[in-house]
Structure 1
Amino acid sequence: MPQITYVEHSGEAHTLDIVIGLSVMEGAVKNSIPGIDADCGGACACATCHVYVDEAWLGALPERSPTEAQMLEFADGATSNSRLSCQLKVTAALDGLRVTMPVSQ
C-alpha cells in the first residue's frame, strides 16, 4: 500500500498506508486525521478537504478538473499547490505523497 503523509497545520505529521483506489480524503477520514472535514463526502461540492500538495508531487497528479478549480476559489488561503483531497485517487505512483492541511477549512 502506498504511504501518504498528512501534515496538520500545527506541523504534526501522520504517515499512513492507504489502500489503492481510495481518495486521499477517504484515507484521512477513515483514519480520523484532523483537519480534513469532508462535509460533502467526496462529491467535489465543497472545499472542506482542501490540502496543500508538496511541490515535488505536483507533476505526479492529474490536472484539476474545472469543478475542482471552481471549488478551490471558495477555499480559504488557496494557492497554486492547493488541491481537494477528494479528487486525488491513491495509486502506487503516489507512494510518499505529502499533503498539508490549512489552518481552517
Structure 2
Amino acid sequence: MSKLVFILPDGTAQTVAAIPDTSAMRHAVDNGLPLDADCGGECMCATCHVHVDPGWFNKLEPAEEQEADMLGVVDDPSPTSRLSCRIRMTEKLDGLVLRLPPTHR
C-alpha cells in the first residue's frame, strides 16, 4: 500500500496508509489530522489547503480552474499550494509529502 506523509505545523511528520483514488484530504481527516475540510471535498472552501513538498509538486496533475480560483483566497499561500481535496492518491504518488500551513490548528 502507498504512503502519504503530512508535515504538521509544529514540524512533526505523520505517515498514513494511502488508498488509491482517495483524496489526500480524506486521508488527513480520517487520520485525525488538523485539516478543516469544511466543504467535505467539494472544492468550495479552501480549508484543506496544503503546501506540496517541492520535489513532489510537478508529479501532480495541474490544478483545474476551480481549484486555482480557490487557491487565490488561501491564507499562507506558497508556489506549491494545492487543495488536498483535489489530490487523488495513485501508486506514482507513494511517499508524497504535504505540509499543513501554520494557519492550520
TM-score range, shorter chain: over 0.9
Using structure 1 for the length normalisation, give the TM-score: 0.96
Cα RMSD (Å): 0.8
Q: Does 1:30 align with 2:30?
A: yes
Structure 1 residue 59 and structure 2 residue 74: aligned?
Answer: no
Letter in 1 for 2:77: A
Unaligned segments of structure 2, at least 5 residues = none
How far, CA to CA, are the matches of 1:69 and 1:102 in structure 2? Answer: 17
Partner of 2:95: 96
TM-score (norm 2): 0.96
Letter in 2 for 1:69: A
Aligned length: 104
How far off is 1:33 after superposition?
1.1
Cα separation, 1, equivalents of 2:80 and 2:41: 19
Secondary structure of the corresponding residue to residue 5 of structure 1: strand
The C-alpha deviation readout for 1:44-94, integer Å capped at 9, x for no partner, is 001100000000001110001111011011100111100000000000000
Q: Secondary structure at the match of 2:78?
A: coil
Runs (5+) with no aligned partner, structure 1 = none
- Give the Cα separation in 2 of the matches to 1:50 and 1:94: 18
Q: State whether structure 2 residue 14 is matched by structure 1 residue 14.
A: yes
Task: Name the CA distance, whole Å, in 2 between partners of 1:77 and 1:16.
Answer: 24
SS in structure 1 of the partner of residue 51 of structure 2: strand
**Residue aligning to 1:4:** 4
